[in-house]
Amino acid sequence: MRTGIAAEFADEATLLAAIHRVRDHGLTRLETYGPVPSEAIDLALGKERSSLSVAAGIGGLCGAAGAYALQWFLVAYLYPIDLGGRPPHMPLPYLIITIEMGFLFGAIAVFVAFLVACRLVRLWDPINDVPGFESATRDHFWLAIDGDDPALDRLGDALDDAARVAPFGGAA
């Protein structure tokens, strides 16, 4: 079970400072929590931009290709019914549903990927047990240091100007 130390900060600035100190001390397994997204924090944590857009792209392409193939298979191959002399395989009308399905599957793909990547559909996390953690969705910022961080013992005073420091997930 995941364990670690959680520290609450009044605002983003103090959090950023703390992150820098903690990282100077060689700690790497960090995660922050806050009411708003912040590129500064990502920068401090040294994280790259998310690559979920790929999911959208793949999903979209698969959806579109599948839709066109299905239309051709059903309408032009399986039962090529004569409708007012229109040729069985008629790309122009096929394209409309193709495009729509591209959008649909792109959207669904990126959303599912989002749920997975964020490890959502998960109501409880050890850190939820930290008293006062709710402030993370209101106004405060939290820094969580993973319990199995090899450099945990070198933490020292890094978290001194935290509003509060608490361990989570059983023993620390």
Partner 1 sequence: MRCSPNPVALFTPTASAVYRGVVIGAVVAVGAALCAPMIYIRTGYASGEGDPVEQPIEFDHRHHVRDDGIDCVYCHSTVETEAYAGIPSTERCMGCHGQVWPDSPETAPLRASWETHTPIRWKRINALPDYVYFHHGVHVQAGVACASCHGDVRNMARVSKAHDLSMKFCLDCHRSTQDSRAITHLTTCTTCHR
Partner 2 sequence: MSEKLRDLHDDVFGRMRARGGRQWRIAFGVCGLFTLLLVGSLSWTIYKGIGVWGTNMPAAWAFAIINFVWWIGIGHAGTFISAILYLLEQNSWRNPISRLTETMTIFAVVQAGLFPIFHLGRPWFAYWLFPYPDIMGVWPNVKSALPWDAAAVSTYFTVSVLFWFTGLLPDLASLRDHAPTRRQRILYGLLAMGWRGDARSWRHYKVTYLMLASIAAPLVISVHSVVSSDFAIGLTPGWHTTLQPPYFVAGAIFSGFAMVIVLAIPVRFFYRLEHVITDRVLENCAKLMLITGCIVAYGYMMEHFGAYYTGDADERSLMFGFHPTSIAFWMMISCNVLAPQVLWLRRARRSKVVLLIVSLLVLLGMWLERYVIVVQGLLRDQLPSAWGNYMPTIVDLGILAGTLGFFGLLFLAFLRFMPFIPVSELKEEAVLE
Partner 3 sequence: MKGDLHSLVPRVEVTRRAALKLLATGVAALETGCFERPGDREIVPYVQEPPELRPGVTTRYTGVLSLDGFGYGVIVDTHDGRPTKLDGNPAHPATLGGSLPWLQARILDLYDPQRSREPTMLGQPASWAAIAAQLRALPRGPLWIVMPPQTSPTIAALLARIAARHDLRVVTHAPLARTAVYRGHELVYGRPLEQQLDLARADVVVALDADLLGTGPMAAAWSRAFASRRKPEGGPRSMNRLWVAEPMQTPTGTLADERLPIAAGEIAALATLIAAEVGVALPASLGQTAQARLGERAASWARHVAADLVAHRGASAIIAGDRQPPVVHALARMIDHALGNPVVMTTPAVLDPLPTHGLDELASAANPGAVLVLDCDPLYTAPHLHLAGVLARSTFSLHAGLYANATTAACRGHIPLAHDLETWTDPRALDGTLAIGQPTIRPRFEVASIIDVLAELAGVTLDARTLVHDQLRGQAALDVFDTAWTTALRTGVVAGSAFRAETITPTWRSPATDALAALLAPPPANTVEVALAPSPALHDGRFAPNAWLQELPHPITKQTWGNAALMSRATASALGVSNEDLVRVRGPVGEAVLPALIVEGADDHAVTIELGHGQHGPAIAAGIGTDVYGLGDAMILRATVSKAGGTRVVPRTQIYMAEHGREIAPLVTLAAYQRDPKLAAHLRGDQASLLPQGGDRFKGVQWGMTIDTSICSGCSACMVACQAENNVPTVGPEDVAKGRAMHWIRIDRYIEEERVVNEPMLCQHCENAPCEYVCPVNATDHSPDGLNEQVYNRCVGTRFCANNCPYKVRRFNWFAYEHEDSRSLQYNPDVTVRSRGVMEKCTYCVQRIRGAEHRAIVDHRAIQPGEVVTACQAACPTGAIQFGMLDEHDTAFATMRASRRRFEALHDLGTRPRTQYLVKVTNPKEGA
Kindly state whether residue 85 participates in binding partner 3, applying the rule CB under 8 A: yes
Structure tokens of 6?
A: 């959680």
* Closest C-alpha among 58, 70, 68, 57 to residue 96: 68
Kindly state whether residue 84 participates in binding partner 3, applying the rule CB under 8 A: yes
Kindly state whether residue 78 participates in binding partner 1, applying the rule CB under 8 A: yes
For the CB of residue 167, give the shortest distance to partner 1 in the complex, in Å: 5
Residue 129 contacts by C-beta under 8 Å, 6 or more apart in sequence?
168, 169
96/172 with CB nearer partner 2: 96
> 3-state class of 6 per DSSP?
strand
Q: How far apart are CA 113 and CA 109, in angstroms?
A: 6
Stretch touching partner 3 by CB under 8 A, among 60-68, 76-84, 111-119, 138-146: 76-84
Kindly state whether residue 100 participates in binding partner 2, applying the rule CB under 8 A: yes
Kindly state whether residue 50 participates in binding partner 2, applying the rule CB under 8 A: yes
Q: C-alpha distances in angstroms, 52 versus 92, 107, 116? A: 31, 11, 10
- Give the residue, chosen from 61, 108, 152, 166, that forms a contact with partner 2 under the rule CB under 8 A: 108
Q: How far apart are CA 112 and CA 116, in angstroms?
A: 6
Contacting residues toward partner 3, per CB under 8 A: 79, 81-87
Contacting residues toward partner 1, per CB under 8 A: 77-82, 121-124, 128-131, 133, 166-172
